[in-house]
Structure formats: structure tokens, C-alpha cells
């Protein structure tokens, strides 16, 4: 009993410390890639995401997408893009998070990528934000 409690305890402590160190390291690496959407954060928007100028239009688009009616979704999206009430960019772009509504899955952002649209504000589905 003395050998078990005195001889193995330091070995177990070493393994426990090593395990906890690896666990903390893995958690911190995962956290770096899965950062939360929070006000003031500068994040990247995924390519080909649809950007809306009004929250109500984004809400309607989300409802159509959720309904599964691809024809209605495509029609509405093409109409919004054609009237320049929504935009779709081919490259990932940097934005600053102005507000985030998790219940609605909506993010209000300010364009930070240099260009003529820098400083403009948009509404995006939260899934468009790269993590």
C-alpha cells in the first residue's frame, strides 16, 4: 500500500498535468478558429454571400430559404440583386460587427475592405460570417 500511494502518485500527477496542458492547448486552438460573433469584432464574410441593405429584406430572404421553396428564393434573390437592394461579392471581405441578433441569425456589419463600398452598412445572415 505504501508503494502504491507514495510511488505512483507523482507519476499520476505528471500524467494529469500533461493531459490538462494538452486539453487547454486544444481548447485555445479551437477557440481561435471558432470565435464568436460579437459587437466590434472585425471578421470575414464568406464569398458569394448575399448582403442586404435592409433587415426586413434579409428576414424575407431567410423565410424563403427556410421554406425550401427554391424557385421563390431564387426569384426574390435575383430581384433584389437586380434592383441593387442586395449584393453578392465573389471574394471574402472584412467587416466590423455593428450588432448581432442570434435569435434572428442576423448580423449588421460595416464594410471594412478598401474600395468604394468601404464604410457602408449591410445586413447578413449569421451563417455568412466566416469563423
pTM for this predicted structure: 0.71
pLDDT on residue 116: 94
* Residue 105 pLDDT greater than 50, yes or no: yes
Domain ranges of the chain: 2-33, 42-128
Sign of the CA dihedral 41, 113, 117, 105?
Answer: negative
Assign 35 a pLDDT band (cuts: 50, 70, 90): low
pLDDT tens, 36-76? 999 999 999 999 999 999 999 999 999 999 999 999 999 99
pLDDT tens, 113-122? 999 999 999 9
Alpha-carbon gap, residue 90 to 124, rounded angstroms: 15
* Residue 28 pLDDT greater than 70, yes or no: no
Comparing CA positions, the residue from 91, 78, 73 lying closest to residue 130 is: 91
As a whole number, the mean pLDDT across the chain is: 84
Amino acid at each position: 500500500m505504501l508503494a502504491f500511494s507514495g510511488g505512483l502518485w507523482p507519476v499520476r500527477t505528471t500524467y494529469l498535468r500533461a493531459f490538462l496542458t494538452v486539453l487547454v492547448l486544444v481548447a485555445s486552438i479551437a477557440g481561435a478558429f471558432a470565435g464568436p460573433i460579437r459587437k466590434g469584432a472585425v471578421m470575414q464574410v464568406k464569398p458569394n454571400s448575399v448582403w442586404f441593405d435592409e433587415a426586413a429584406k434579409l428576414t424575407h430572404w431567410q423565410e424563403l430559404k427556410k421554406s425550401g421553396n427554391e424557385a421563390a428564393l431564387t426569384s426574390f434573390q435575383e430581384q433584389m440583386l437586380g434592383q441593387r437592394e442586395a449584393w453578392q461579392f465573389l471574394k471574402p471581405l472584412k467587416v466590423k460587427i455593428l450588432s448581432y441578433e442570434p435569435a434572428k441569425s442576423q448580423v449588421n456589419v460595416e464594410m471594412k475592405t478598401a474600395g468604394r463600398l468601404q464604410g457602408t452598412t449591410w445586413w447578413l445572415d449569421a451563417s455568412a460570417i466566416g469563423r
